[in-house]
Amino acid sequence: MKGKVIGDILVLKNEPDNLEKLLDLPEVKRIVKLGRINGPKREPEVEILVGDNTETIHRENHCFFKLDVARIMWSKGNTGERRRMAKLVKDGETIVDMFAGIGYFSIPMSVHSNPSKIYSLEINPVSYGYLKENIMLNKVEDVIEPILGDCREFAPKNFADRVLMGYIGNTHEYLDKAVDIVKPGGIIHYHESVPDKLKFERPPQRIIDAACGRDVEILNKRIIKKYSPGVYHVVIDALIE
């Protein structure tokens, strides 16, 4: 069986042979089959096999995430990175999460660390709605400020101690904005999907190019997961002077 449990929903890639047996799995009350992922907002096609709706609350690392699995992506493969980020944040930091989604990284950072403020930017109104709900669900309203809109329109410069770019796609096109936002001595966490042979070469070079002469120190290069055959999802931690 190829699938993952999100909240109380089992999400499968293929039609199962025995639905009733799958309902015996711990916490599983509903079952859906995942089809294609469509469009720039990565909206999944979902067929409900058991149950009458696709909204759930997923628990991970003592955090709560409300989402609709038919409208929002959830990657189990990013669990370790979400935990790592929650441990990296230092007391009193100002953080900008450029692609916040439903709070994938903002929520753990606010729950398990002690930042001064997290500005969570999200362009998708559906994800933004769940982001606001998850902020309340985790009782971190005093830490996270959700902002609906394009992260390129976020005005402050030399502002953040830490900038998170936790999205893979055309993320490199936003590196110049991340460099504008981060203050001298701040850190950018840059995510990219990269062919194996370039996985630790292309992403750091893109950061250096975007820095436009500012000194860059690569602090860490990390594989998050295999994205597709011969392609890896990596994250680069870069200190920008």
Last residue of a domain, one of 73, 93, 125: 73
Task: Please give the Cα distance from 236 to 239 (Å, whole number).
Answer: 10
The pLDDT tens digits for 60-81 are 999 999 999 988 888 888 999 9
CA distance 209 to 204: 9
pLDDT of residue 20: 80
Residues 184 and 110 grouped into a single domain: yes
- Total domains present in the chain: 2
What is the Cα–Cα distance from 157 to 82, expressed in whole angstroms? 26
Q: Do the beta carbons of residue 45 and residue 34 sit within 8 Å?
A: yes
| Domain end call among 73, 104, 123 | 73
Band of residue 223 on the pLDDT scale cut at 50, 70, 90 = very high
Contact 69, 5 (CB under 8 A): no
> Has residue 41 got a pLDDT over 80?
no
Q: What is the CATH number of the domain that holds 213?
A: 3.40.50.150
Residues 129 and 201 both lie in one domain = yes
Residues 118 and 90 in one domain: yes
Does residue 122 have a known ligand-binding role? yes
Residue 75 counted as an annotated binding residue: yes
Q: List Cα–Cα distances, 15 to 49, 53, 114, 125, in angstroms.
A: 9, 18, 44, 31
pLDDT in tens, 21-32: 888 888 899 999
Task: Based on the fold, state whether residues 126 and 7 are members of the same structural domain.
Answer: no
Q: Are residues 130 and 45 in the same domain?
A: no
What was the pLDDT predicted at 34?
84
Does 64 share its domain with 86?
no
CA dihedral 20, 24, 26, 31 (to 10 degrees): 0
Please give the pLDDT value at position 24.
87
Which CATH number do you get for residue 15?
A: 3.30.300
Residues 6 or more apart whose CB falls under 8 angstroms from that of 213 comprise none
pLDDT band at 39 (very low <50, low <70, confident <90, very high): low
Phi, psi of 50 (to 5 degrees): -140, 130
Same domain? 67 vs 81: no
Residue 151 sits in the same domain as residue 198: yes
Confidence at residue 42, expressed as pLDDT on a 0 to 100 scale = 62
Is 46 in the same domain as 110? no
Mean pLDDT of the chain: 93
Do 61 and 34 share a domain, yes or no?
Answer: yes
Range of the domain at 108: 77-240
Same domain, 34 and 7: yes
Picking from 11, 42, 73, the residue at the C-terminal end of a domain is 73
pLDDT of 177 higher than 60: yes
Amino acid at 131: L
Mean pLDDT of 166-170: 91
Q: Are residues 194 and 140 in the same domain?
A: yes
Arithmetic mean of pLDDT, 90-103: 97
Does residue 110 contact residue 77 with C-beta atoms inside 8 Å? no
